[in-house]
Amino acid sequence: MARDIFPFLPLPEAFDWNDGRRVVDKIATLDSPVPDVPPLVVYATRLSHEVGPAHSVELGRWADVAGQGAGLSEGRLRRLLVEIGPAGRDLNLPPPPHAAHYADKSRVPDTDAQSEDSLSSLSTLPGSPALAGSTDSGRIWGNVPPRNPDFTGREGLLLNLQRSLEAKNKASVLPHALHGSGGVGKTQLAVEFAYRFGERYDLVWWVPAEQQTLVLQSLAELGQKLGIPGTQEFTQAASLVIEALARTDKRWLLVFDNANDPTDLDHLIPSSGGHVILTSRNPAWLDVWDAVKVDVFDRPESIELVQRRGTNITEVEADRLAAKLGDLPLALDQAASWQTATAMTITEYLSLFDQHFDELSARDRDVNYPLSIAALVKLALERLQRDAPAVAQLLEMFAVFGAEPISVGLLRRGRLGTISQPLARALRDSTAPDRMARDLRKYGLAKVDVENRIQVHRLLQVALRDILDEELLDRGRTNVHRLLGAANPGEPDDDGTRELHAEIAPHVNPSGLINSAEEDGRRTVLDQIRYLWNIGDYDGSRRLGQAAVDAWVERTDQPDLGPDGELTLLASRHLSNALLSLGINGRARELAESTLARLRKSPEFGPDHEHTLWTAATVAVALRVAGEFKQALALEQENVDRYVRVFGAEDATTLRNQGNLAVNLRMLSDFPGAFKIDDSIVLRLDETLTEDHRRLLFAQSNLVRDLYGLGKYEEALQLQGRILPIFRRTMNDARHPMVLLASRTLAMALRKTGRYDEALQVARENYHDCVARYGEAHEHALAATMTYANTLRVGGSLSEARGLAVDAVARYRRTFGDLHPLTLVAQVNEAVIQRSIKNLDEAHRLDVAAHRAMIDILGADHGYTLCAASGLANDLALLGDDQAAHRLSSETLAISQRSRGPEHPYTLLCAVNATFDRIAVGETTQGEEELASVVGALSELLGTAHPETLGARLGRRAECDIEPPPT
């Protein structure tokens, strides 16, 4: 043997090959045939292939200890065991075909310093391409309002703003807030800045910022322009855009128009790389960003505007009008437009204006806007009521609409609502809505853009609400409610309805639609709660849902309202889903359970109604999140039974709920039961759906999770590797929740099949994507963190793995509590890592607590409990308590053989540890025989070159870590 390994060995002819000591001493003095590996380690490793199983493990253990003492990593020693074996195999297996997506990524070395995250350029983040690659075709210009051809003055403000922005360091963004009272022209100033200096930027984007949903929607649209892979959730899309802008070298300008609360935008401003302008009436911005005060016009500016916008107005007349209107730009523009439209002289106009102004002043009530605006609006409204009553009624509606534009198309969609006459007839006329929009623009009451969207200035809306009497204001509100109810497309889960829901969204709260007397209006609110949840605006969904529930539960004037009304109960269910998505789990469960109880007792609905069954599914999710797996299983089983009885076994919703039942079975380690259900679902869907249908892909991914739990790692890898590229392409979103779950499963399967380098690439990307998508404290982000930590551990990056695991355990405890199964799972994984870095006392402390709690909560035969028991036995063995380790590892093996099956990989790993413990307590002969059998079984199941097989041959105790399941 020595002669085969060291053919150049210089020995005398009479050398005694049977004198092992002399052979070893001589080999120790030689140059090693393997660079950087001590010659005796090479010799012992090679010899381990030629002796019996028991001696093989002894030699492997010696080589392992000696090699680590010489500075070799565990991974290097495993590779050595294969490289100098009889077949000379190389542990660096070629990437499988299904991993081609990752083949071009750089390999990640084993050491901590080299495994640190080095994702420094945007192109390395899936779903976040560098902006440079998305603007080659030219500048990006979006949503900026049309330029005002009559823009007047403001030269000093414009130049000072431009110089101030340019003076800032590109490494950080310090936004500038254009602040001033309503009507002074803040938005017009920002528009003019965008047009005048736009050529200096590669990207200029306008963001309506009065409501956070609008901000998210606008940034998501910008993401499409940038070529960022699409996402169905606006929150995620906005995050990707902010990330892209902060990393690009391109010059960009964002304008947030009419922002309210600074806290709404804190997380939506890029940290570096460009310029941000914001317009607001809220003085809170003065303490947050650089504030640029925008005031009324200087008199020469006022005169210039009036003469440009009016007709045949002398300088003296313009001066009189400016003095009367206080040089307020909005009032001047509206008055000049009115004068042009009516051909009225300034003297006549001012006479009428004074009458209305005096009338409004006599009301003796406080207003927070210039009375001149109210006088102008009252003057215009009376003229329209006389000459164009349909236009007057449309203007009344703008007292109730939100500040965002209303398209003529939306007005046409709402024509079937019971609108008051003559407006109803005008909306049904094919050409009248366009004429009405032009009339509003002609009289200076609204802006109409190139897409035929009508927008009334916020200050004019306030004035309208003030001057309309109760009867007219109520008519306008009723018309808005009926129009929005008729225009509502319904089906908020359908992607095809999103554009219309998006246009309706800004007008729901301002119009008071929650309190509508119209059922269609209230159903529009209900659909909006769900729509906001679907686009990922969970907080918006929560706020609207909570407001609706609070309002509707108190009302008994309509049959669909009150505590047991249909709309109240459905809003409660939608609110529960939003709360769950935000991690407000206790409140979500309480509300869902209360809603379910009311639906079951309701004579209108009862236990078998769709509303009841859907709510039961929400309760089951809440139970799983709370760690009450058995209760969730019972509820899901009852739900499935009802679906089968009421709708049939082949119904789509029945299959979906059977999938939920399988989720619960996985939580309880019943992987055979889960596999049976999921396999049946996949077979049924495969008969009717194409391979790229999301329901089929999701069902197949669930099946992969079953295969993983059954220990069929190679099958899981092959299936997940085949469908993941299709999944990515179909969802068109690298960070869609379903895709992220599938990607994490791929990382798990790659690791369990021994492809550690590839697993680390996938796990790292998935970790970054999940944190970016959900935030660090979300359940899915925490699970991705544990997968990444587990993968770092097997790759030898122990300090980084420990840091991630310790942080994840702390977050699990804060989010779920100390005794939640997911917290205990993370605790077991941390113990594995602590044991790997020789923190034996800490590992023992963690395992004792986790094992005891898991027995009480999950039972002794649950898979998680067995993993905790295996880890605790390892602690005992390494701490020198061989007898206790032997008892526990033998007991754990017996339970695993019974519950997991004798051929499950984790059962064999338990057997490896049990044989080591048997040998340690003196039962050498039986232990060595069992060890030989187990190593052979591992070789057959996982392969001779698999790290777990090699670890057993090197005499290392096996670790049974846990991958946290999705709830």
CATH number at residue 165: 3.40.50.300
Residue 158 corresponds to which amino acid? L
Do 493 and 440 lie in one domain? The reply is: no
Q: What is the distance between the terminal CA atoms of the chain, rounded to a whole angstrom? A: 55
Do 815 and 921 lie in one domain? The reply is: yes
pLDDT for the residue 638: 94
Residue that finishes a domain, picked among 245, 273, 293: 293
Cα–Cα distances in angstroms (integers) from residue 171 to residues 202, 276, 294, in the given order:
17, 13, 28
Do 273 and 224 lie in one domain? The reply is: yes
H helices of 553-667, in order, are 566-581, 585-601, 610-625, 629-647, 652-667
What confidence tens digit (pLDDT) does each residue in 589-623 have?
Answer: 999 999 999 999 999 999 999 999 999 999 999 99
User: Which among 179, 180, 206, 174 has a CA at the least distance from the CA of 193?
Assistant: 206
Partnered with residue 293 across adjacent β-strands are 179
Do 788 and 824 lie in one domain? The reply is: yes
What confidence tens digit (pLDDT) does each residue in 284-305 have?
Answer: 666 667 778 888 888 998 899 8
Cα–Cα distances in angstroms (integers) from residue 48 to residues 56, 70, 531, 918, in the given order:
4, 19, 64, 21
Do 340 and 285 lie in one domain? The reply is: no
CA distance 485 to 491: 13
Indicate the range of 11-20, 25-34, 291-300 predicted with least confidence: 11-20
Task: Assess whether pLDDT exceeds 80 at residue 110.
Answer: no
Q: What is the mean pLDDT of the chain?
A: 85
Cα–Cα distances in angstroms (integers) from residue 485 to residues 201, 422, 527, 700, in the given order:
42, 19, 11, 40
Do 325 and 411 lie in one domain? The reply is: no
Domain that holds residue 148: 135-293
Do 868 and 797 lie in one domain? The reply is: yes
What confidence tens digit (pLDDT) does each residue in 152-202 have?
Answer: 888 888 888 888 888 765 556 677 888 888 888 889 999 999 999 988 899
Do 838 and 746 lie in one domain? The reply is: yes
Do 467 and 518 lie in one domain? The reply is: no
Is residue 636 in some structural domain? no
Angle at the Cα of 558 from the Cα atoms of 554 and 559, rounded to 5 degrees: 105
CA distance 617 to 355: 64
Tokens of 405: 């534009």
Q: Is 583 exposed, middle or buried (0-12, 13-18, 19+ CB in 10 A)?
A: middle
pLDDT for the residue 119: 26
Residue that finishes a domain, picked among 261, 293, 325: 293
Task: Assess whether pLDDT exceeds 70 at residue 103.
Answer: no
If one counts the domains in the chain, the total is 6
CA distance 632 to 788: 28
What confidence tens digit (pLDDT) does each residue in 760-806 have?
Answer: 999 999 999 888 777 788 889 999 999 999 999 999 999 999 999 99
Do 40 and 173 lie in one domain? The reply is: no
- Reply yes or no: is the peptide bond before residue 510 cis, omega within 30 of 0: no
CA distance 338 to 340: 5
Task: Assess whether pLDDT exceeds 90 at residue 101.
Answer: no
Do 482 and 498 lie in one domain? The reply is: no
Do 748 and 821 lie in one domain? The reply is: yes
Is residue 393 in some structural domain? yes
Is residue 543 in some structural domain? yes
Is residue 626 in some structural domain? no
pLDDT for the residue 99: 34
Is residue 358 in some structural domain? yes
What confidence tens digit (pLDDT) does each residue in 213-244 have?
Answer: 888 888 888 888 888 765 656 777 788 888 88
Contact 433, 505 (CB under 8 A): no
Measured from the Cβ of residue 243, the count of other Cβ atoms closer than 10 Å reads 18
CA distance 483 to 433: 14
> What is the share, in percent, of the chain residues with pLDDT greater than 90?
50
Task: Assess whether pLDDT exceeds 60 at residue 554.
Answer: yes
Measured from the Cβ of residue 76, the count of other Cβ atoms closer than 10 Å reads 18
What confidence tens digit (pLDDT) does each residue in 368-390 have?
Answer: 667 888 888 888 899 999 999 99
Indicate the range of 286-300, 538-552, 682-696 predicted with least confidence: 286-300
Is residue 681 in some structural domain? no
Angle at the Cα of 465 from the Cα atoms of 429 and 433, rounded to 5 degrees: 10
CA distance 297 to 137: 40
CATH code, 879: 1.25.40.10
Residue that finishes a domain, picked among 432, 458, 487: 487
- Strands 140-142, 275-280: pairing is unpaired
Is residue 706 in some structural domain? no
H helices of 668-733, in order, are 671-688, 694-709, 713-731
- Strands 252-257, 275-280: pairing is parallel
User: Which among 454, 407, 212 has a CA at the least distance from the CA of 220?
Assistant: 212
Give the pLDDT band of residue 568 (cuts 50, 70, 90): very high
Is residue 686 in some structural domain? no
Partnered with residue 406 across adjacent β-strands are 454
Residue 384 corresponds to which amino acid? L
Single pTM value for the model: 0.76
